Amino acid sequence: MSGIQDRSIIVTGSGSGIGHAAAILFAQKGAKLTLADRNASEGERVLEEVRAAGGTAQFVATDIADPAQVKAMVAKAVETYGRLDGAFNNAGIPNVGKRTHELEYSDWQRMIDINLSGTFYCIKHEVEEMLKTGGGAIVNTCSVAGLVNVPGTAEYTAAKHGVAGLTKAAAVDYGHDNIRINAIAPGTVYTELFVKACEVNPQLEEFCKGVHPIGRFSQPSEQAEAALWLLTDAASFVTGIIMPVDGGYTAV
């Protein structure tokens, strides 16, 4: 079995953007999904969309900054489907748009709690279950900000560099246990958040197109396709990488 047919897979941040696209794509490929998002109404909406298309899924309202909620999310996946085969740890928040000295302590702490610590909690509890059943695959959502500096995003860049390091460290820890751990590093993605940002700053759309050598930004579905590949056996010898899905942003 080289795809994800009948595999139990968690998708966090499934209520919008990349997570929403991944939920739809993974369902189309036959996965048994546990969808998670802290926004219950958005999460339930995506759940109904997946089920209406014939997919198998459940939704668990989860704030990944709370380790108890993450543990419960993973437990629910195992309770429903009998095991955990894969996870796409995609949930996260954007930066607040301040320079380093302008950041409030609360801005910094919220970013670390969700984007970095939340990813750690997910990996920890997912790995605990995968060790019981002989392995699995995990994909984290990093960012180009986890590979290079993006000006004006100190707290986000720090957290995503942390996700990159955590991904590599965990991959080494569990390579002999048949657990592969990788990350995707998206460039600009045309999500709901990006659309709102462009409404505030009309120049942002053209600027973001310009910094990607490919001449555009990505669609959420393109990021979901990259995550899908890393979850399948087609990537069976790939672990510990932070894969840019960035239209050449980090190649400049």
Helix and strand element counts for the chain (H, E): 9, 7
* Torsional sign, CA 55, 60, 63, 65: negative
* Torsional sign, CA 78, 81, 85, 86: negative
Quick one: DSSP state of residue 176? G
Rounded Cα–Cα distance for residues 132 and 84 (Å): 9
* DSSP code per residue over 44-72: HHHHHHHHHTT-EEEEEE--TTSHHHHHH
Q: Which of 121, 156, 174, 249 is catalytic?
A: 156
Active site residue 81: no
Residues catalogued as catalytic: 156
